[in-house]
Amino acid sequence: MFRIRLHKDDLNILQKIQEILGVGRITMNGNSCLFTITNVKDLRTVLFPLLDKYHLYSVKWLDYLDFKKAVLFLSESNSTRVSVSQLDWVKNIINDMNTGRTEYNCSLIPDIAVNPYWLLGFVEAEGTFGFKNLSPYFQVGQHVKNLFVLEAIASYFKSTPKSFKFSLRSGAPTVINSFNKNTSVSVISILSIDALYDYLLFFFLNMPFQSRKGVDFYFWCIVLHLHKLVYFYFKEGRSLTYAISQYVNSGRYSTNPNQAQAPSLTEINQVLNLSLPVTLKPDMLHIDLAKAFASKVKPRSIWVYDNGELLTENPFSSFVHAMEAIGYSKSSIAGRRSIDTGKIIGGRYTFYSKPQ
């Protein structure tokens, strides 16, 4: 069988695939929905021609070749029964596929040709529009055996043309590669606010998202805009960012017992209608604008609460002192980024600019 599994919130994607292919069936399995093709004729006349024309570029191509080989062998058998030796041959193929594969002849994989629509599909499946310390980032992860795919994607992003022409000094995206030894997963990430805004934001805005990953992306864009134009540094901007970070990705799933609510357009516009104390100039990078904002708008007092209880009777005069008091590095930005948002740091601490 050929199968695609998605979260049940993306059922419409499987329905669209079924409608386009004209074959297969859709079933529900717990929190997942499954699109399955088991009919040999449909595999041979619909799926195989499709994948032969539109290649897979990861090691999954090797699984496809073996799968196709086994299906064709069994379907072309002149007998209704296969011999023991034939069955052993097929079982050997099956056992060496997918998670059982130990040999990777990458010379059989077609040369990867990244294009915008292939990339969009890959990102919808494997990418993340996420937040760390309320700062937006973009990443794509793969098992290390598909590292060559990530390298091709990284190269493509590095050559992406700048779309936001107002910024004069922002350079092409710097792609960071990290590796998790425990999971054998390699991840490429782009963290720069300027690169994300001036290059990636407009690239993806022009693409037709098919899944609910598009919802994550559009809210992520709002946060990126708040950072780029420093609305984020208002307490209202931080609160909106925190609300969005709680909603997107797993937070919006209907199966999440703590499902968050999406901020309304009114709430978003209330932040964007705030009057900025500084003006973005073409030669300013995001960090320049952030520093200019910080020099004019500084919280004079920082109140820290430990599980809802005021940590000290007197407020801290700086984030350095506040972070040290709760055992964090004085250079940590967690408190600065989360103040007045209600976000909990370290499972217990919240920061405010006024007593609560």
Neighbours of 149 (CB within 10 A): 24
- Domains of the chain by residue range: 2-103, 116-272, 299-352
| Per-residue pLDDT tens digits for 315-348 | 998 899 999 999 999 889 889 889 999 999 999 9
Q: List the chain pLDDT tens, one digit each, 356 residues.
A: 999 999 999 999 999 999 999 999 999 999 999 999 999 999 999 999 999 999 999 999 999 999 999 999 888 776 667 778 888 888 888 888 888 888 888 899 999 989 999 999 999 999 999 999 999 999 999 999 999 999 999 999 999 999 998 999 998 999 999 999 999 999 999 999 999 999 999 999 989 999 999 999 999 999 999 999 999 999 999 999 999 999 999 898 999 998 889 999 999 999 999 999 998 899 999 999 988 988 887 667 899 999 999 998 889 988 999 999 999 998 898 898 899 999 999 999 999 988 88
275: tokens are 């009057």
| Report field, pTM of the whole predicted structure over 0.95 | no
Q: What CATH number should be reported for the domain whose range is 116-272?
A: 3.10.28.10
Residue 215 contacts residue 248 (beta carbons within 8 Å): yes
Does domain 2-103 match CATH 1.10.275.30?
A: no
CA atoms within 13 A on the CB side of 276: 19
Task: Return the pLDDT at 80.
Answer: 63
Q: List the Cα angle 34/44/59 in 5-degree steps.
A: 65
Q: 116-272: same fold as 2-103?
A: yes
